[in-house]
Structure 1
């Protein structure tokens, strides 16, 4: 019996992960495993035939207001559902690159909310702390990525829906310049402001997906991917009330940028926060009524409307036209002031949100809690700017995220600046990436440095795989385990993302328990490749085994 193909393994592992995490509220529709297996075999055949598919086998989750052929588009409202004839262009482009759609995800109904609780499919709980909100409206997409089910996910962002859930779940969320990614096939929230966004666990993965989805167009700003970078930072007192620890975490992010060589400049945040209030408190919310108001006000009333969403959209029906023109004039003045305040800075750095509410907080004050979360995100699309949300540490065990906002058409700059914010990550290696081994040069090329040599916890077996170059497979076992020589390397997060994207089967990235009781990401082996592989655990490590095999020193090169 032949081993399952690489993509087929990923599909089966993802379905297993869905069952293991037991978070049914993430999903609106999951594709049947048999359908995914058939598509996986087809992808493997295309790759074997020489076709270049940059996303081959990457698993994609899609927010439930974006069309996926073969699945209903519900926008978080079952009675609204329709069957699209084709994928939305953003979905189609990722599929054409080899991505495999695993299902559609839950959201704040009609993409109206930043909390992830306004859905008849259930409140989507945070990936780290289930008592907290996941953030919305792209709640299910963000949590599917954070929990390791999907590699990539699509969301939308009108008021922050692609950034707030990224921050709350410790992942990357990219909101491009309006129009860079087509919004056809997306149920509109505010059609003139909507953006399709992407979630990923690393910056390189998010950048790659965004590049594949984007439509090339004449640029108003010349591209630039190298610093020195100029970053605008408002006084902390202008941020308003933040959750405990958030001001210190934000200031620490500012200092990391400064230490990395960025020029930090002061900025008056007032026009940004005043414009943020206009999105829901002004006349612009009337565009939400244009999108789905007739459905919400239909008779008889749809039985599955979220009451908070319905109230927001129905109230927008009665906003007089003159208010829209008044608010447009005010917005134009605020945008001029905001861009003047930004000056020639490459980006504005802000906390993504002022805090992280619990599910109980939102239940007690649905509108107030949601309004607070949009303080820093609401103005971005009103000002026609781009943004990226990235992890920036944690506070009391919860992810803390910051956001970089730049002028339109400066999308390529923000990931470069964001890369300076993220502290290095550690990687445990036990085989061909060890010092002196043939793949160690991959680590060095990514800017990695050796931190220490240690051993795993005594819960592993090491086997010699039949690969070129020679490498071992590390297997966690329930009994008869042993400690294995391990090196801990430190490298930039984007470097780990690059390494992970290039990782050949049967290797996979997982958590490795170390002898001192800590853990670190490291290379493990998929079970199918271990069958028949020689057990070399008794040697104590890969280098000792290679030395015994070749009869030379433990740092010998391998062929």
Structure 2
């Protein structure tokens, strides 16, 4: 593992190599960041290594970093914060070093990354295309390998659209989990501080140091039924016009989730898209005027105000209060319909955007191109939902991304579902209490397991009835006297298999089980010393057949034995 100073030097070398000055608004002098890194290294040398030691991060230019001006993408708005925003301070306390503040769509108003007097931020993969906004610089700093992670904000999708366009991960947490003090508001009732990283674990790790236990009352989330993750996808034809190749890329991503064991269910997307239109076409945009409208009015016509941003904000000045109340009522109806449509689904899967425009296309139609990008993202914060955006392949050599959206406070669940795209599923051979209909089968279902097929082992195994609660068999490979044993092959998410094995009790162990067709699959075996006094039931051909004979008599397991956690309880009777 490199030292913090070495990591800082590598970051500045990368900054020079990529030559993307438009990424930054306030890049710190290298000597200052090296001094911070040296303090981190000193703590590590003393035995008190901070958990994020050796990492560097960037901060969107509307979030306070002490010692750097907060501009929100507007030079004349700049002020000098005397303290870090809490989100920044917590990451620094954990050992991460700030490189600087990044460019953005001015006043966080936009999804394109071009609305800034500091220059349009070009896409990390194809400079002819937009980087996505408003958190453009932060996303590109990560995608180019400069920063390990970066902070953005998300009101209408600004923490997700740039992630999709640059092939990285964007986490938009539940509103309020990360404090927004020290953040220039766009719409204060909707704004969320977000995280970009190249991988999901890196993003989650950074987010874990920023969160605050919510003072909000947790909504009554329905208890999950045992079974695979349930992912909602829109009904046919509801995605609307997409860029060429994007419908196929989305279908491929949905199929990958299904192959990983998720159950796909169709939902009506209409309330989501109708609410998305309300964010800018309705009265909610008035909150942007509340945030910075006075400043924009006072500086009308000045060179450092982006004209598109200024027009959006000043256009909200005279919206009557009755329109806002009417839109709030309309939103409440749409949210009720949307949540009913989702039902008990764990997540809604959508393309992050309908397409990816070029810089020229945005310049030709700045408001129209931007509005199209928010079709799927705008409703998330209006509906008080959590979201994660993840890469899902490429179209024409450029990144394609999807997002998973779920109810407030299901952030961890969404990340677990999203991980299915990154990690191939694993197979598991079971011969006993995890078989379909047996007491511990619910563990496989709760971990996202899916039955692939029923077969037998090769004729090289012996089966024993162990003295346990609930009753379990022990499978061992034998040099002689073996026979085919009935086996189910299940598919589990890799993390599900890991969770199951983490609690696997002795004398059970994991090993390779040879199936009748000669393939080797991980499966449950038994340590030989546990077989003393156990009755051999190989001749039955399998555990269910042995139970059908009436011995050993199956006894109901207690709640601890069949809990939906990993491993089950192995208990020897006296």
Taking structure 1 as the reference length, what is the TM-score of the superposition?
0.74
Q: Which residue of 1 aligns with 2:471?
A: none
| Cα displacement (A) at 1:322 | 0.5
- Residues 1:383 and 2:383 aligned together: yes
Please, which moves more after superposition, 375-384 or 291-300?
291-300
Structure 1 partner of 2:219: 220
1:349 maps to what in 2?
349
Deviation at residue 308 of structure 1 after TM alignment: 0.1
Aligned to 2:362: 362
1:176 paired to 2:162: no
Alignment of 1:514-525 (within 5 A): none
Report the Cα distance in structure 2 between the residues aligned to 1:274 and 1:5, rounded to whole angstroms: 49
Range with greater deviation from structure 2 (110-119 or 300-309): 300-309
Q: Unaligned 5+ residue runs, structure 1?
A: 426-491, 496-559
Distance 1:370 1:71 in 2: 29
CA shift, 1:210, in A, is 1.1
- Which stretch of structure 1 is more off in the superposition, 275-284 or 301-310? 301-310
Please say if 1:128 is aligned against 2:136: no
Deviation at 1:423, TM superposition (A): 6.0
- Report the alpha carbon displacement of residue 323 of structure 1 after superposing the two structures with TM: 0.3
**1:87 aligns to what?**
84
Aligned to 1:487: none
- Which residue of structure 1 aligns with residue 372 of structure 2? 372
> 1:242 aligns to what SS in structure 2?
coil
8 Å contact kept, 2:260–2:424: no
TM-superposed deviation, 1:71: 0.4
- Residue aligning to 1:312: 312
- The reply on whether 1:108 has 2:105 as its aligned counterpart is yes
* Pairs within 5 Å for 1:43-62: 43-62=40-59
Report if the CA contact (8 A) 1:422-1:493 is conserved.
no
Q: How many residue pairs are counted as aligned between the two chains?
A: 426
Residue 5 to residue 412, structure 1, CA distance change in 2 (3 Å): closer
Contact 1:233–1:350 under 8 Å retained in 2: yes
Is the partner of 1:79 in helix, strand or coil?
helix
* 8 Å CA contact 2:267, 2:341 repeated in 1: yes
* Structure 1 residue 221: Cα displacement: 5.3
Is the Cα contact below 8 Å between 1:67 and 1:88 reproduced in 2? yes
Counterpart mapping for 1:130-279 below 5 A: 130-217=127-214, 219-220=218-219, 228-279=228-279
Partners of 2:495 and 2:190 lie apart in 1 by 30
Residue pair 1:177, 1:411 contacting (<8 A) in 2 also: yes
- For 1:308 and 1:494, the matched residues in 2 are separated by 46
**Partner deviation per Cα, 1:478-529 (whole Å, 9 max, x = no partner):** xxxxxxxxxxxxxx9999xxxxxxxxxxxxxxxxxxxxxxxxxxxxxxxxxx
Identify the residue that residue 22 of structure 1 maps to in structure 2: 19
* Superposed CA offset, 1:362-414 (max 9, x none): 00000000000000000000000000000000011000000000001100001
Aligned to 2:332: 332
Which residue of 2 is the match for residue 464 of structure 1?
none
Distance 1:227 1:80, change over 3 A: farther
In structure 2, distance between residues paired with 1:272 and 1:403: 14
Secondary structure of 1:237's match? coil
TM-score (norm 2): 0.72
- Cα pair distance change 1:172/1:280, threshold 3 Å: same
CA distance in 1, matches of 2:43, 2:226: 37
Task: Note closer, same or farther for the CA distance 1:399–1:332 as it changes in structure 2 (3 Å cut).
Answer: same
The alpha-carbon distance between structure 1 residues 216 and 366, as it changes in their structure 2 partners (threshold 3 A), is same
Pair 344,300 (structure 1): closer, same or farther in 2 beyond 3 Å: closer
Q: Is this contact kept in 1: 2:40–2:49, CA < 8 A?
A: no
1:280 is aligned to 280
Specify the SS of the correspondent of 2:265.
Answer: strand
Q: State the 1:327 CA deviation.
A: 0.3
> Which is worse superposed, 45-54 or 352-361?
45-54
**Structure 1 224/117 Cα, relative in aligned 2: closer, same or farther at 3 Å?**
farther
Separation in 1, partners of 2:273, 2:330:
13
State the secondary structure of the residue aligned to 2:209: helix
Distance 1:227 1:414, change over 3 A: farther
The equivalent of 2:507 in structure 1 is: none
The residue number in structure 2 matching 1:98 is 95
Partner SS state of residue 165, structure 2: helix
**Mean Cα deviation higher: 185-194 or 231-240:** 231-240
Contact conserved, 1:159 with 1:378, CA < 8 A, in 2?
Answer: yes
Counterpart in the other structure of 1:77: 74
SS in 1 for 2:316: helix
Q: Which residue of 2 aligns with 1:292?
A: 292
Task: Tell me the SS of whatever aligns to 2:402.
Answer: strand
Three-state SS of the structure 2 residue aligned to 1:38 is: helix
* 1:424 positional shift: 5.5
Distance 1:142 1:155 in 2: 8
- For 1:534, the equivalent position in structure 2 comes to none
Corresponding residue for residue 31 of structure 1: 28
Tell me the SS of whatever aligns to 1:266. strand
TM-aligned CA distance change 1:105 to 1:331, over 3 Å? same
Distance in 2, matches of 1:199 and 1:99, equals 14
Residue aligning to 2:400: 400
Alignment partner of 1:13 is 2:10? yes
Contact conserved, 1:234 with 1:266, CA < 8 A, in 2? Answer: yes
Residue 320 and residue 28 in structure 1: after superposition, are their counterparts in 2 closer, same or farther (change >3 A)?
A: same
Seen in structure 2, the aligned counterparts of structure 1 residues 311 and 22 have a Cα distance that, compared at 3 Å, is same
Task: Name the CA distance, whole Å, in 2 between partners of 1:54 and 1:207.
Answer: 13
Question: Do the aligned partners of residues 300 and 307 (structure 1) sit closer, same or farther apart at CA in structure 2, a change above 3 Å counting?
Answer: closer
